[in-house]
Amino acid sequence: KASPRIRQVIGSAIQHLHDWARENELTVDEWMAGVELINEAGRMSDDRRNEGQLVCDVLGLESLVDEITYKLATDASDAPTASAILGPFWRKDAPERAMGDTIVSGIENGDNTWMHGQVTDYLTGKPIEGAVLDIWHTAPNGLYEQQDPDQPDMNLRGRFTTGKDGKYELYCLRPTSYPIPFDGPAGKILQLLDRHPYRPAHIHFIVTAPGYKPIVTQIFDRRDKYITDDAVFAVKESLIVDFEPLKGNPKADFELSYDFRLATY
């Protein structure tokens, strides 16, 4: 028996799809081209590649749904940290690492960065103990570890747990901008619309803590050329950060300070 919610959502999708076909006087050939695109996305997808999600992302759908779902997480500085899309490259069970460790392995040409900050309760400002920061980003070649046979398994990923003071610190890279995979249907849509496939340089996070709502987010490098033109529309003002030059630390050339504010249920 269909739930009222399912009846509502699918019924509404049918209505809008029919209106869309009528408004555009969609032809059989055009509709079949769409069917083929959906089938191709399915054929390309496996546990390393989620082409259906990529297609939705270039249409702005994941960003829109993120915005609708996490209304509370606005850009205001007294709000919980803003959310951003998960994207297709998160992996579960990233290695648990000790505070202060690096997530970088076997990469010589990266801009090593000392990243640090605090996880707090957004209402009380109190530090949150036992918060887990799950971080992932690409190598300088623009590839996530699972896309790149030259990187060790789980490279540029890690999970860090805060102590009593809610603070975290780790070493990562200042990321680079790179294209989303454009050799499939998502790339085809971009090309048909004369759009580029680049995302501004970003680092992904999922921050969780007992008793708090998880935050899925990304931070973006202010100086990136694509900062106002993300192929998947995920940038929010409060998630834009500055990588500062760092002197006197043999392990890093840049410093990045960022705090995360969580909300209770």
Task: Say which entry of ligand DHB, Fe ion, none residue 131 contacts (CB below 5 to 8 A, set by partner kind).
Answer: none
At its nearest, how many Å lie between ligand DHB and the CB of residue 57?
Answer: 3
Compute the distance between CA of residue 166 and CA of residue 161 in angstroms, rounded to an integer: 9
Query: Residue 43's beta-bridge partner residues?
Result: none
Per partner kind, with CB cut-offs from 5 to 8 A, the member of Fe ion, ligand DHB, none near residue 158 is none
CB of 178 to Fe ion, least distance (A): 8
Tell me if 180 contacts ligand DHB by CB under 6 A.
yes
Asked if 172 and 166 touch (Cβ cutoff 8 Å), the reply is no
- Binding residues vs Fe ion (CB under 5 A): 87
Contact 168, 260 (CB under 8 A): no
232 binds ligand DHB (CB under 6 A): yes
Q: Residue 156 interacts with ligand DHB (CB under 6 A)? A: no
Residue 182: phi and psi, rounded to 5, are -120, 20
| Per-residue CA distances from 223 to 48, 138, 178, 204, 241 (Å) | 30, 17, 14, 17, 9
Q: How many residues touch ligand DHB (CB under 6 A)? A: 10
97 lies in the site for ligand DHB, by CB under 6 A: no
54 vs 207, beta carbon nearer ligand DHB:
54
User: What, of Fe ion, ligand DHB, none, does residue 88 touch, CB below 5 to 8 Å by kind?
Assistant: ligand DHB
The residue sitting closest to ligand DHB, measured at its beta carbon, is 87
* Closer residue to ligand DHB, CB minimum distance, 89 or 212: 89
For ligand DHB, the binding residues in 36-95 under the rule CB under 6 A are 54, 57, 62, 85, 87-89
Rounded Cα distance between 28 and 238, Å, is: 45
* Comparison of 44 and 86: residue with beta carbon closer to Fe ion: 86
Residue 50, CA distances (Å) to 57, 87, 90, 216 in order: 11, 9, 11, 18
Q: What is the DSSP pairing of strand 240-241 with strand 215-221?
A: parallel
Of 97, 157, 174, 199, which lies in the binding site for ligand DHB, with binding defined by CB under 6 A?
A: 199
Distance of CA 10 to CAs 41, 89, 203, Å? 21, 28, 34
Q: What does the binding site for ligand DHB look like in residue numbers (CB under 6 A)?
A: 54, 57, 62, 85, 87-89, 180, 199, 232
